[in-house]
């Protein structure tokens, strides 16, 4: 089977968005957890809160952000269905110093440290594997973000993000505001706005307000590797 160059990107592009389509590893252990439902835009966890265990996200979306003393925030990643929050802190025996905020109505299950280590991990290896996958995803996101912020221009980073997210979500419409994307990539909101309006002029994106809609996914893929993205003049 011939593999196009675009498809190779699919396996190499890493975006700060963690989501697992296959949640079957968790089916048998949900009974051990506590089900929680959160409304949209709810702060679920603050740095000063204690970490009692892990949180498995069944549906919805949660933003994980680091915060400075004076309220500045930098989003680290967004977590969707199938992902887990807090396993790194739990295994490292450290407090979790981030803000968790729901972006959508979210359903989650919490598992205490004790339940996890005594009732789940010894008997459900698939869950352990899922936790490792989740942890690995975070590692890759952080290292990739550092690399991209050093080596790539803003348009390149925005383009990679949009393209990678389209593939990951298998959707051309991404319900994210410019500000959210900017927080996520660590660039100014205005730069994101300028880049996106440029991409609309070129015809890569549709001119929809609220959210971003990719018009031509192949053109976007081509844009990534071309020098257009590197040299951007507003």
Partner DNA sequence: GCATTAATTCTGT
Partner DNA sequence: ACAGAATTAATGC
Nearest distance from residue 182's CB to DNA, in Å? 9
Query: Which residue number, 102 or 180, has a Cβ lying nearer to DNA?
Result: 180
# residues contacting DNA (CB under 7 A):
15
Q: Does 95 bind DNA (CB under 7 A)?
A: no
Q: Does 178 bind DNA (CB under 7 A)?
A: yes
Nearest distance from residue 179's CB to DNA, in Å? 5
Nearest distance from residue 35's CB to DNA, in Å? 23
Q: Does 179 bind DNA (CB under 7 A)?
A: yes
Q: Does 184 bind DNA (CB under 7 A)?
A: no
Cross-strand partners of 57: 108
Q: Does 177 bind DNA (CB under 7 A)?
A: yes
Q: Does 190 bind DNA (CB under 7 A)?
A: yes
- Lay out the sheet containing 17-18: strands in order across: 17-18, 73-79, 62-67, 98-102, 43-45
Query: Which residue number, 153 or 177, has a Cβ lying nearer to DNA?
Result: 177
Q: Does 209 bind DNA (CB under 7 A)?
A: yes
Cross-strand partners of 214: 205
Q: Does 73 bind DNA (CB under 7 A)?
A: no
Binding track over 29-68 against DNA, x by CB under 7 A: -----------x----------------------------
Tokens 């680290």 label which residue?
76
Taking each helix axis from N to C terminus, what angle separates 5-12 and 154-169, rounded to the nearest 10 degrees?
A: 90
Q: Does 90 bind DNA (CB under 7 A)?
A: no
Please select the residue that binds DNA; options are 62, 196, 220, 229, rule is CB under 7 A: 196
Q: Does 213 bind DNA (CB under 7 A)?
A: no
CB-based contacts of 189, cutoff 8 Å, min separation 6: 178, 179, 182
DSSP letter for each residue of 85-118 = ESHHHHHHT----EEEEESS-EEEEEEEHHHIII
Question: What angle is formed at CA 157 by the lines to CA 185 and CA 187, rounded to 5 degrees?
Answer: 35
CB-based contacts of 220, cutoff 8 Å, min separation 6: 159, 162, 163, 166, 199, 204, 214
List residues binding DNA (CB under 7 A): 40, 177-180, 189-190, 193-194, 196-197, 200, 209-211
């Amino acid at each position: 089977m011939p593999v196009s160059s675009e498809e190779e990107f699919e396996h190499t592009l890493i975006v700060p968005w963690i989501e697992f389509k296959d949640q079957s590893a968790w089916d048998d252990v949900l009974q051990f957890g506590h089900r929680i439902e959160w409304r949209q835009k709810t702060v679920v966890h603050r740095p000063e809160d204690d970490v009692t265990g892990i949180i498995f996200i069944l549906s919805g979306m949660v933003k994980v952000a680091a915060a400075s003393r004076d309220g500045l925030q930098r989003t680290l990643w967004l977590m969707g269905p199938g992902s887990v929050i807090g396993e790194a802190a739990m295994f490292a025996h450290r407090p979790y110093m981030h803000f968790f905020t729901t972006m959508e109505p979210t359903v989650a299950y919490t598992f205490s440290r004790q339940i996890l280590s005594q009732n789940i991990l010894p008997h459900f290896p698939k869950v352990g594997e899922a936790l490792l996958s989740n942890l690995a995803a975070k590692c890759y996101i952080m290292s990739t973000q550092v690399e991209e912020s050093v080596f790539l221009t803003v348009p390149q980073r925005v383009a990679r993000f949009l393209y990678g997210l389209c593939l990951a979500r298998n959707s051309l419409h991404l319900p994210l505001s410019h500000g959210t994307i900017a927080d996520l990539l660590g660039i100014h909101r205005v730069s994101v706005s300028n880049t996106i309006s440029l991409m609309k002029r070129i015809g890569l994106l549709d001119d929809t307000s609220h959210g971003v809609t990719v018009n031509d996914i192949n053109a976007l893929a081509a844009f990534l590797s071309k020098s257009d993205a590197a040299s951007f003049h507003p």
